[in-house]
Amino acid sequence: MRFKDVFSIIGPAMVGPSSSHTAGAARIGRAARQVLGELPREAEVTFFGSFAATYQGHGTDRAIAGGLLDFATDDHRLPDSIGLAAEAGMSISFGQGTGLFPHPNTVRLRLTGRESGTEMTLTGTSIGGGNIEIVDIDGFSVKLTGMYPTVLIQHMDYLGVLASVTDVMREGQFNIGHMSLDRKNRSGAALTVLELDEPATAELLEKLRALPAVKSVKVVDLNGITQEQT
């Protein structure tokens, strides 16, 4: 089933005007921020398809900037996010891309972390009603919806890594709803994405990080409603 629960129909709570071009874009930006794990120093945003044609009218640019500031879809600061990003020390540029893209509403992000200087690329698509799919992270094919608490594990590709990851999940009583793995080459770098039923705890993340061959563990969680700030 494409739509799994009542809140994918009634919801999300969001700042308008478009669930696909505003709320979906904000969620893609926020997912990217969480994968990067810190505020970006630089963000290069490239829009494709319908995003490229209408991003100004829909505030898609502001939505991406807001997401990169870790704002939820209904955060009242979203319309002012480009100014807020500048204040926070983020340099952000917007452009229109050419060539192949996977969906009419596609955005590609190239980010540089403020503290670590880490560079990252991410491609996201907005598939309707605020629902998204992140399809590429750093050249790895993924399928990340953000509907569930998600753990991303960067590791080396060798025999038994996945078994050790799922062992940790079982010990901690974390059920895996969806899983994908992609690798750059045999015995090379790999990325595993796990969608969980429950939010990951600090203890779980610590155990995963301690596994041999695991290079990094990141969490994406886009759920929750912003309490109205007055």
Partner 1 sequence: MNFQTLSQLAVLCGERELGIGALMLEEQSAESGRSQEQEFATMREYYGVMKEAVQRGMTEDTTSRSGLTGLDAQRVAAYNAADEPCLGGPAGQAMAYALAVSEVNASMGRIIATPTAGSCGIIPGVFLSCQERFGWDDDYMVSGLFAAGAIGYVIANNSFVSGAEGGCQAEVGSAIGMAAGALTEMRGGTPAQAVHAVGLALKNTLGLICDPVGGLVEIPCIVRNGFGAVTALAAADMALAGVRSVIPSDEVIKVMLEVGSAMPEKHRETAGGGLAQTPTGRRIMKDLRNPK
Q: What residue ranges bind partner 1 (CB under 8 A)? A: 1-20, 22-23, 50, 53-54, 56-59, 74, 76, 78-79, 104-105, 127-130, 197-198, 225, 228
91-96 and 40-48 as β-strands: parallel, antiparallel, unpaired?
Answer: parallel
- Number of neighbouring beta carbons within 10 Å of residue 9: 9
Nearer to partner 1 (CB atom), residue 140 or residue 174:
174
- What the block records as the tokens of 38 is 């810190």
Nearest approach, Cβ of residue 26 and partner 1 (Å)? 12
Nearer to partner 1 (CB atom), residue 128 or residue 139:
128
Distance CA 135, CA 133 (A): 6
- What the block records as the tokens of 110 is 């190239």
Nearer to partner 1 (CB atom), residue 9 or residue 163:
9
CA distances from 130 to 21, 114, 140, 219 (A): 8, 28, 23, 20
Nearest approach, Cβ of residue 188 and partner 1 (Å)? 36
Nearest approach, Cβ of residue 105 and partner 1 (Å)? 8
Nearest approach, Cβ of residue 49 and partner 1 (Å)? 9
Distance CA 24, CA 15 (A): 11
Nearer to partner 1 (CB atom), residue 22 or residue 145:
22
